[in-house]
Amino acid sequence: MFKLFFSSLLFTFFFSFINAENLTIIKVNGNERVSDKTIIMFSGVSVGQDISQNDINEITKNIYETNFFKDVSINFTNNILLIDVDENPIVQSINITGIKKKSYIEPLKNLFTIKEKSSYIEIFVNKDLNKMKNFLKRSGFYFADVDVEIQSNENNTVDIIYNVDIGKKALIKKIKFTGDKIYKDKKLKSIIVTEENKFWKFISNKKYLNEEQIKLDNRLLKNFYLNNGYYQSTIDSSSASNIDENNFELVFNINSGKKFYFDNFDLIIPIDYEKDNFSMIFKKFEKLKGKQYSLNSVKKILDEIDLIAMSKQYEFINASINEQVTDSNKLSLKFIIDESEKFYINRIDIVGNDITNEKAIRDLLVVDEGDPLNEILNNKSINNIKSSGLFKSVNYSIKDDKDKLKKNIEVSVVEQPTGEISAGAGFGTSGQTFTLGITENNFNGNNTKLSTSLTISANAIQGGLDIIIPNYKYSDKSLNMDIFRVDTDLLSTSGYKNEVSNFTLGTSFEQKQDLYFSPNINLQFETLTTNSNASSTLKKQDGDYYDINFVYTILYDQRNQSYQPTSGYYSKFNQTLPLLSNKYTLSNGYDYKIYHKIAEEVISSLSFHFKSINSVDGSDVILSERVFLSKNKLRGFESRKIGPKDKNDFIGGNYASALSLGTTLPNFLPELQMIDFNLFLDVGNVWGVDYNSSLNKNEIRSTAGLSVDVLTPIGPLNFVLSQPIAKASTDKTESFSFNLGTTF
């Protein structure tokens, strides 16, 4: 049987060569727009070439792949190659009916594969139809009905008409969490992106029913539970049910399962590898053993492996994780590192990026053409692209190359909207504020982060522009630029008006793991204007000021997560050094905060804050630079109403410090899903008056109380009940304060 099969294979192979004939003439029929010469070029053959049946199949494939023809027929007889083609019609126009807003029409046309003046291909039109339906669903038009109409013209052209019955937008009226969810609804709503519709939310697009957004919510919830120890947690289902007309109720069914803890760790490496090169990984194993399971902790181990993979000694390695449940709630992890086949990257192709520049995507890669094909670094590159937030989906494939020692990588991306307009308002005992902001995370298609903001309150207007360019010129460092201005008008009450303009240019990067360095050059221009209501000291400071400063921040971050941490700590030092100024002030600041989980949703914290500012040349520090304590650091006192006082004005100090101890309280009543209670003890002081030491009263202030956070239908409400324990006679206390905010 085998001999018969082998003989047949050989016969077919030789038959194809025996029947190969020499090509002497190429004829083309049926073409009107595409020239004979162009079609012959598409075919990939030339006169004088030997032609076999396999070649005829390849010619047919080559011509079809140009998308210019709906039918191709090849005939090779008597050394003459006859190519018969039937050209696809040309798309003369693409029209969308039923949608009036240009803000929808232009993005839709950009999504289409088929463009005006390109060939009409039915399968592509159907794909574009599905893209259109998905776009409308993502935009909230869940009930939209779309069909396509093709109108043929006499000159072998067609008009494509998409008829849309857009319907009403599908709105999320209510969000519910069911099952063994452990956490309050208030906490879980702060994790997800989707929000409930309210009549004043006329800007937000997060209130619409959006399948992709709900998938993101599921991922965010899953990661939240994984980072809090719930290794076997599942988001069993997320469903939206129609309540009435165009309103939906979104339900997330959660099964948290048991809380898991790390048990044993093991690292398996090839026998000829030096264990000393993996010492940092073993140290992390020792630190994590017995601790609560966290996905972020596992990622930090993988980051260490990534660093090792970047060294030339370990260019060709792979890593895998073997997870095994031990006992009932313990997890042992085995990290396996082995050598991979030795391939090099020949070419990296990026497809699907209509808006994002290819260079911006390549900046996110840690591998490049010519580098060893390293699975660890390849996955890190893909994760970098995913975490950029620019794309709805990112996929990649590794393909063979003609050179057997090389591989090609194709990265396929699907883009998503990256801009947002936001507005908000706040009302409380400190006054009213209104904010407006615009952010764009892919400005000009370059992965440049751009944000603008404007805040208006009773006595001040402030606004600015921030620009962040990640991985500037392949340096692994971001380039940051900030333009900021604040105008404070207190002429009627305190007799002064202050105008400050700032320009900052700098960078930020991770110097070592969890150690961040941010150096900046800051230019500041300030004008202080006074009237007859101002104190004599303020009147002396009337005038214009300028500064050129070197500002830097060093942050060591050991928190388990940056958003809503439950364990770990951070330590931050910042300093402002004057380079050129007419007042030469030196500023130092230090902040420390540590978190500890006592029980589920019971998180205690201890924080310390210190700030100082002094003049290098012995002159007085002007009012705008003097130090105050914010209400967040010393509750129970009115804002900027403690410390040294000159006549009727609180003038701040040269020094300020604060210590705060706080803890959240457990959920005593399950029905209070939207309320968090926090106990606190704050201690603080503002002292030091360089221009008149007699005004300095160095007295410790302290206060204790209860802070309550309520997620109301309007927005988050915070109110504080406090009782001062120690204070100065001139301080202005505030036993009750509240703040209500919302976004539009």
Query: Homologous superfamily of 16-87 in CATH?
Result: membrane protein fhac (3.10.20.310)
pLDDT at 19: 55
Quote the mean pLDDT of the chain.
Answer: 88
Check: CB of residue 671 under 8 Å from CB of residue 186: no
Dump pLDDT digits (tens) for 459-494.
899 999 999 998 888 788 899 999 999 999 988 888
Half-sphere exposure of 281 (CA within 13 A, CB side): 26
Dump pLDDT digits (tens) for 310-346.
776 777 888 889 999 988 899 999 999 888 888 999 9
Alpha-carbon separation of residue 675 from 46, 224, 514, 633, 712 (angstroms): 78, 20, 33, 22, 9
Q: Do domains 16-87 and 345-415 have the same CATH topology?
A: yes
Amino acid at 605: S
Decide yes or no: CATH 1.10.10.10 for domain 345-415: no
The whole-number average pLDDT for the span 223-246 is 87
Residue percentage of the chain with pLDDT more than 90: 40
Report H helices in 28-121.
36-43, 53-64, 102-111
Check: CB of residue 203 under 8 Å from CB of residue 744: yes
pLDDT at 635: 93
- Is 60 exceeded by the pLDDT of residue 373? yes
Q: What is the DSSP letter of 209?
A: -
| Distance in angstroms (rounded) separating the CA atoms of residues 289 and 331 | 10
Amino acid at 662: G
Helical axes 36-43 vs 53-64, angle rounded to 10°: 120
Q: Retrieve residue 125's tokens.
A: 């039109």
Which CATH number does 261-339 carry?
3.10.20.310
pLDDT at 6: 41
What global pTM score does this model have?
A: 0.76
Q: Is 374 exposed, middle or buried (0-12, 13-18, 19+ CB in 10 A)?
A: buried
Decide yes or no: CATH 3.10.20.310 for domain 171-255: yes
The whole-number average pLDDT for the span 155-183 is 90
Which CATH number does 90-165 carry?
3.10.20.310
**Helix/strand/coil for 514:** coil
Q: State how beta strands 419-428 and 716-726 pair.
A: unpaired
CA dihedral of 719, 723, 728, 732, whole degrees rounded to 10: 30
Dump pLDDT digits (tens) for 657-702.
999 999 999 877 767 788 889 999 999 999 999 888 888 878 999 9
Check: CB of residue 627 under 8 Å from CB of residue 653: yes
Nearest to 177 by CA among 233, 231, 228, 109: 233
Unique residue bearing structure tokens 């029409």: 105
Nearest to 292 by CA among 606, 557, 568: 568
| Distance in angstroms (rounded) separating the CA atoms of residues 676 and 678 | 7
Task: Indicate the domain borders of the chain.
Answer: 16-87, 90-165, 171-255, 261-339, 345-415
pLDDT at 8: 44
Give the angle subtended at the CA of 597 by the CAs of 287 and 286, to the nearest 5°: 5
Q: State how beta strands 234-244 and 344-351 pair.
A: unpaired
Phi-psi region for residue 459, left (φ > 0), alpha (ψ -120 to 50) or beta? alpha
| Distance in angstroms (rounded) separating the CA atoms of residues 527 and 534 | 15
Handedness of CA 254, 256, 257, 263 (dihedral sign): positive
